[in-house]
Structure 1
């Protein structure tokens, strides 16, 4: 790589943003400055405005029809929205950052918009994909990539543009341990060559600490967004670690509380999987064959590298896509009266038997408000209004979403969207739940609460299939591990 841009300075002067559909400001009256070339870890509890601040610096929040703003947000002293190409950003959901159908074209997209000469574009594309170890052909369909591969694709597109500032919003959230290290190393290599300013948001921070020289912690008070702490990693996380952990920040050496182990052994079998091969497209198997028994009152932790077929396995056992070959059969304890194959059940039959929380929350949001989203399943079951109100009220409280009940789900933070989709899955009280990365985007407090809820479901007799790279959650739930692609 050659250095085509000097590092950028980022500054907020009394800046705030309120989404058009929200009463509460996402960020309000924040003041901070990040000097050129600094490497900053941005922390804070879920909903503290971290992602909104990064999106503001990235110039992607939209105009007056999408929200209200005050104060100034500057890149090199110029309003952030006017600094084309100076900031490159990887957002929480890589699907929404994928623009084109083929990998190489997608990585090249930003460079083309910046007017980079064609020959140089493709040199940059190959350099960037190599840097993030996205080891797929450049003509591979972007739709065929796993969630982790899409995160690497988004990062490659940013690195190819050679921006003055690189903004990363949980860039390793859905990656396997090797992928986490690869992405961190790729970012480190890019910074070494370009000297670009870095701001990274991560809830699980250990991997980034050797790379950053400053930690900023955001908090929310009635008068606005405040900087709870700002300084070197040792000063912030060492001297104030216990205080910050109590506020929900992930701090090494201050683990959140975990529930007790299950008091009872797993119960009866609910699902019998034999010789199962799974595929997203007919005739193109991606993993298997698998043999698996899913029991009531047990958590099964599905693990394995990115691209191994974990999510495809989850969708298949949940009855959302058909088996390529082999058998997925519900036992009499789970049977709907519509046969044993969940894929052939009606959606209403699935609602009370097998619920699914997809890896990408946006893929299953249906309603205009958080409260209405929670009511979708119960209304499909034709429950009465009083029961729907009772269930949604309980879930809003349990998942810390009460203050967001009337908000548009798409304006929530990544962690809030994840809690919403988990809550929506619980609203129909299914016997079995498939959770794909259930703790994505959570601060320490909401992580502990989600884990406690899942453990409670397990202890009440539900079967849980949890697809996760989060080893801590699998340990906390005493999950029986099921390795895919080992």
Structure 2
């Protein structure tokens, strides 16, 4: 990626008695944080979901404060190279949980160049850096490719390329590989290893799957929700001295994987069937726009009651596209998704032609971007919306919502706006809304895009057990996921999406998603 940055090696980070409370919240996200990160150190931030890890990264990037993007109340001091973080933005590169929020340009190359241009990089150095960063992260398209036509994982690669191209002295990464397929995640970790060795940049990393990144870091810092640092030291020391306690709090500790309690899959009749389904990318506007390309061609897939089907495969292969087609929310270019069995008795027309209310009653959807499905101003109202609309008694609805809030650790957030939640909290809420009609009124089919993203071990287990209970009751669960642990515990049919088609994994000699058939 090039030579050492002109400003020297890594930046120094210092927090003293630091705390932050988001606007509209009573409780602090973090408080009493005392932490120093020396230049060139590589720090892994750990803590339960909602512990304030993303908040700390955003603050280090200079995004919090009275005149910044995120408003709230700050106490204590937070300094980067001896100055407030909002004055040191030029030395910081941030990759946030949601890549959608960081894309600012219509074309891929322009988006990567944006940060360099704002830093005043010489024009003759910008494009070589852009091309080098795109190649390093394995971005599969050219500079002119539309950012709006990218999958979630492809957007993640692009955002990482933009951060790396800037050669930051402080690199802040929030779940940087969460949306990537296993091969892409391994590629990015290799790129980070080389970049950090070459530049000696300071790294602060948030990653739930600790085993994948422990070789990247030399220090682990654990945060307490609403508090400060509760453990700090070399990875082996922290895990040896605090591993059991941290695991009990939901922190992902190597060798302490959760074991959900699941009933066997009962199986059942076919509920949905994709027949000859084809999909293409949207038509782009502009003289330099690329023509539509085929994402899926001639896909056939049956979804059975009482089973969990997982869609796996490389980024950009069409997993999310297929999921939206199966949910009846996208129109196929060719072919159709037909209701079968009990669903055909409800309406024999292709799913795409069902009225919205009927579709929502029988097919629930959890989108890749959680915000796309939030429609009310508080978490509690979000969960009450579907059951009350379906005619559930208010007392029964309140009782079920209270249970969901408790099981998914959202009770303390019941009265806050969904948009102010952390990434993991938003994901739990989005899954909970799909389950909020209650077990007796749950949709016949539930389609979910990366349902376990950003979870600690406790909330991961609760989500998986809730989905497992629906499967046991005869509902069909369809998931697009890269979560190997989810694939291991809650998958009856594993389908690889690649090269425009689908294939059962047991018909594939070696599955790129991680493992052999």
1:203 aligns with 2:208: yes
Matched-pair contact (CA < 8 Å) for 2:44–2:221: yes
Q: 1:382, CA displacement in angstroms? A: 5.0
Q: Deviations over 1:131-176 (max 9, x none)?
A: 2111211000001111111111111111111111100000011111
Structure 2 partner of 1:8: 11
1:237 aligns with 2:239: yes
Match of 2:57 among 48, 54, 78: 54
Structure 2 partner of 1:396: 405
Note the 1:88-99 alignment, pairs <5 A: 88-99=93-104
- Is the partner of 1:334 in helix, strand or coil? helix
Matched-pair contact (CA < 8 Å) for 1:354–1:430: yes
Matched-pair contact (CA < 8 Å) for 2:41–2:218: yes
Match of 1:456 among 469, 472, 476: 469
- Is the partner of 1:352 in helix, strand or coil? helix
Structure 1 partner of 2:328: 319
Q: 1:430, CA displacement in angstroms? A: 0.9
Q: 1:254, CA displacement in angstroms? A: 1.0
Q: Deviations over 1:273-321 (max 9, x none)?
A: 2222233437643023222111111000111111100000000000000
User: Which stretch shifts more, 383-392 or 140-149?
Assistant: 383-392
Structure 1 partner of 2:113: 108
1:219 aligns with 2:220: no
- Is the partner of 2:155 in helix, strand or coil? helix
Q: 1:332, CA displacement in angstroms? A: 3.9
Q: Deviations over 1:425-464 (max 9, x none)?
A: 1123211100110100001111111111111111011100
- Is the partner of 1:439 in helix, strand or coil? coil
Match of 2:460 among 443, 447, 450: 447
- With the length of structure 2 as denominator, give the TM-score of the two structures: 0.90
Q: 1:347, CA displacement in angstroms? A: 1.6
Moved over 6 A (4+): none
1:483 aligns with 2:496: yes
User: Which stretch shifts more, 17-26 or 37-46?
Assistant: 17-26
Q: Deviations over 1:383-440 (max 9, x none)?
A: 5544443342232122211110011111111110000000011123211100110100
- Is the partner of 2:189 in helix, strand or coil? helix
Matched-pair contact (CA < 8 Å) for 1:88–1:163: yes
Match of 1:472 among 485, 493, 509: 485
Match of 1:413 among 422, 441, 450: 422
Matched-pair contact (CA < 8 Å) for 1:379–1:388: yes
Structure 2 partner of 1:344: 353
Between the aligned partners of 1:170 and 1:399, the Cα distance in structure 2 is 20
Between the aligned partners of 1:478 and 1:152, the Cα distance in structure 2 is 27
Between the aligned partners of 2:56 and 2:373, the Cα distance in structure 1 is 25
Calculate the aligned-residue CA RMSD, in Å.
1.7
Between the aligned partners of 1:382 and 1:335, the Cα distance in structure 2 is 23
Q: Deviations over 1:219-249 (max 9, x none)?
A: 13xxx51322111111112333222111111
User: Which stretch shifts more, 361-370 or 442-451?
Assistant: 361-370
Structure 2 partner of 1:432: 445
1:162 aligns with 2:174: no
Q: Deviations over 1:338-382 (max 9, x none)?
A: 443111112211222101101121222222111122233234435
- The structure-2 alpha-carbon separation of the partners of 1:337 and 1:460, relative to structure 1 and needing over 3 Å to count, comes to closer
Matched-pair contact (CA < 8 Å) for 1:146–1:306: yes
Match of 2:20 among 17, 22, 31: 17
Between the aligned partners of 2:372 and 2:159, the Cα distance in structure 1 is 18
Matched-pair contact (CA < 8 Å) for 1:73–1:80: yes
Between the aligned partners of 2:233 and 2:457, the Cα distance in structure 1 is 21
Between the aligned partners of 1:109 and 1:227, the Cα distance in structure 2 is 35
Matched-pair contact (CA < 8 Å) for 2:14–2:80: yes
Structure 1 partner of 2:254: 252
Between the aligned partners of 1:359 and 1:21, the Cα distance in structure 2 is 26
Q: 1:197, CA displacement in angstroms? A: 0.3
Between the aligned partners of 2:118 and 2:66, the Cα distance in structure 1 is 21
User: Which stretch shifts more, 354-363 or 412-421?
Assistant: 354-363
Matched-pair contact (CA < 8 Å) for 1:297–1:461: yes
Matched-pair contact (CA < 8 Å) for 1:280–1:321: no
- Is the partner of 1:482 in helix, strand or coil? strand
Structure 2 partner of 1:273: 274
Structure 1 partner of 2:337: 328
Between the aligned partners of 1:199 and 1:234, the Cα distance in structure 2 is 18
Matched-pair contact (CA < 8 Å) for 1:357–1:434: yes
Structure 1 partner of 2:149: 144
Structure 1 alignment gaps of length 5 or more: none
Structure 2 alignment gaps of length 5 or more: 284-291, 500-517
